[in-house]
Amino acid sequence: MARRKTARARAIVADAAETRLRAIIVFGMTAILALVIASFASIAFAAGSDSGSGGGDKYKSYGVSAEMRQATVLVKEEAFADAMPFLQKEVTNDPGNADAWNLIGFSSRKLGDYVTSEAAYDKALAINPKHKGALEYKGELYLTLGNLAGAEELLARLNKTCSFNCSEVRDLKDAIAAYKKAQ
């Protein structure tokens, strides 16, 4: 009888261990799946543009215009002056393209034209007030201009806009921290 109880107890312990192992495997697979989904979700256009951000039907899928493709390549190569004619043509053809306005703002800022940069970011944000790239980059522009309060306000807006793993929030936080440290 004692042997039967010991064997039964071992069987119960083995079942419990197997159940825990299954739970660990399911949890691990779920975590891996979440990481894969997050990595695909983080793929975006260059310079913080928000594909599908409300800026023109061209951005709903693969139908990006030739001008926007060329401008994106040039911006990635840091050829900002060369990208500008393509971006200007894009916003002429599609004035509601928040991504193009964001890239105009980004390129203008990198070229030192802060007035054009701010105006372009404002247009992107008028089209899409939650455009993460424009919020981040306008915050960085504000830091360049010495407007810490404005950058912090944009960071607060970004925090409300971003729900998970938002590189724009991280980047603007880092830029604000670096600005404060330099002061």
Question: In which band, very low, low, confident or very high, does the pLDDT at 24 lie, cut at 50, 70 and 90?
Answer: confident
Mean pLDDT, rounded, for 156-172 = 93
Q: Which residues of 74-96 are buried (b: 16+ CB within 10 A; e: fewer)?
A: bbeeeebeebbebbebbbeebee
138 CB neighbour count, 10 Å cutoff: 29
pLDDT at res. 164 = 83
The C-alpha angle with vertex 23 and arms to 17 and 28, in degrees rounded to 5, equals 125
pLDDT tens digit sequence for 97-150: 999 999 999 999 999 999 999 999 999 999 999 999 999 999 999 999 999 999
Residue 165 has pLDDT above 50, yes or no: yes
**CA-wise closest residue to 49 among 93, 97, 119, 92:** 97
CB-based contacts of 53, cutoff 8 Å, min separation 6: 59, 98, 99, 128, 130, 131, 132
**CA-wise closest residue to 110 among 148, 85, 76:** 76
**CA-wise closest residue to 102 among 55, 165, 35, 150:** 55
Distance CA 178, CA 172 (A): 10
Distance CA 171, CA 48 (A): 11
Give the whole-number percent of the chain exceeding pLDDT 70. Answer: 67
Residue 58 has pLDDT above 70, yes or no: no
- State which fold the 44-182 domain adopts: 1.25.40
Question: In which band, very low, low, confident or very high, does the pLDDT at 55 lie, cut at 50, 70 and 90?
Answer: very low
